[in-house]
């Protein structure tokens, strides 16, 4: 089954304790991206990757790190989480767009993070 998986699904942690949210896709997608969803703000792009070892910042990258060492995996790292990073996080993947077109993203189930 084609899917994007995220782990953990729920996480409660304390300020400053490093954490990693994993993301994996089995569709051989080149493009992967992380988003955070906050009430009234929709989803905002944190980081994206267009292929292995190619990553770049989205709109809200502060406080986050990513790496893309394998095509299927794109972990999100919070080295020193703060309460303002409490949010619902989504990982997504897609094929890279061809000229004149764009592919929809497939989303993971989400990770609800609470930082106290």
Partner 1 sequence: AQKITQTQPGMFVQEKEAVTLDCTYDTSDQSYGLFWYKQPSSGEMIFLIYQGSYDEQNATEGRYSLNFQKARKSANLVISASQLGDSAMYFCAMREGYNFNKFYFGSGTKLNVKP
Q: In the stretch 40-79, what mask flags binding to partner 1 with x, by CB under 8 A?
A: xxxxxx--x-x-----x-xx--------------------
CB of 37 to partner 1, least distance (A): 8
Residue-by-residue DSSP string for the chain: ---EEEE-SEEEE-TT--EEEEEEESS--SEEEEEEEETTTEEEEEEEEEETTEEEE-S--TT-EE--SSTTB--EEESS--GGG-EEEEEEEEPPPPTT--PPPEE---EEEEE-
Q: Does 104 bind partner 1 (CB under 8 A)?
A: yes
Q: Rule CB under 8 A: which residues touch partner 1?
A: 31, 33, 35, 40-45, 48, 50, 56, 58-59, 88, 90, 92, 96-97, 99-107, 109-110
């Amino acid at each position: 089954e084609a899917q994007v998986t995220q782990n953990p699904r729920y996480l409660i942690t304390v300020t400053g304790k490093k954490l990693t949210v994993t993301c994996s896709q089995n569709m051989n997608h080149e493009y992967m991206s992380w988003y955070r969803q906050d009430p009234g703000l929709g989803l905002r792009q944190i980081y994206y990757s267009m292929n292995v070892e190619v990553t770049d910042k989205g709109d809200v990258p502060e406080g986050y790190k990513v790496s893309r060492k394998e095509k299927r995996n794109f972990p999100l790292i919070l080295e020193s989480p703060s309460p303002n990073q409490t949010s619902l996080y989504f990982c997504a993947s897609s094929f890279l767009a061809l000229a004149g077109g764009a592919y929809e993203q497939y989303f993971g189930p989400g990770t609800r993070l609470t930082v106290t």
